[in-house]
Amino acid sequence: MAIIKLEPEQYVELYAELAELMMTYLNAAALTPDDLLIYQEENGDLRYTELGQQQFEECVEDIEHILAHNNIIKGDL
C-alpha cells in the first residue's frame, strides 16, 4: 500500500475535524449536564470541559493511530 503524505496543516486539519465530529456524537450521548463534554459560552464560542479536553486528546490519538495504520502520515514542513 502506498504511503500518503499530507502537508502538516492538512494532516492536523483532518484529524481535528474527525475528532470534533467524534466529540459531537459523544456530547450528544450525555445523559446529564455533568456528562457534557462541550459547552457554549455567552458569546457563542464552543468550549470543551476538562473531561471534554481529555476525551478530545484521546480521540486524536485514536485517529492518528488509524491514519498511520492506513499509511496516511504527516509530511515534513
Phi-psi region of 44 (alpha: psi -120 to 50; beta: other; left: phi over 0): left
Q: Which domain holds residue 58?
A: 4-74
pLDDT at 35: 92
What per-residue confidence (pLDDT) applies to 76? Answer: 85
Question: Residue 46: what pLDDT?
Answer: 92
Give the pLDDT score at 77: 66
Specify the number of domains making up the chain.
1
Q: What is the block-wise mean pLDDT of the chain (77 residues), using blocks of 10 residues?
A: 94 96 94 92 95 96 97 89
Burial class of residue 49 in the structure, from the number of CB atoms within 10 Å of its CB (0-12 exposed, 13-18 middle, 19+ buried): middle
Contact at 8 Å (CB) between 75 and 42? no
State the pLDDT at residue 1. Answer: 80
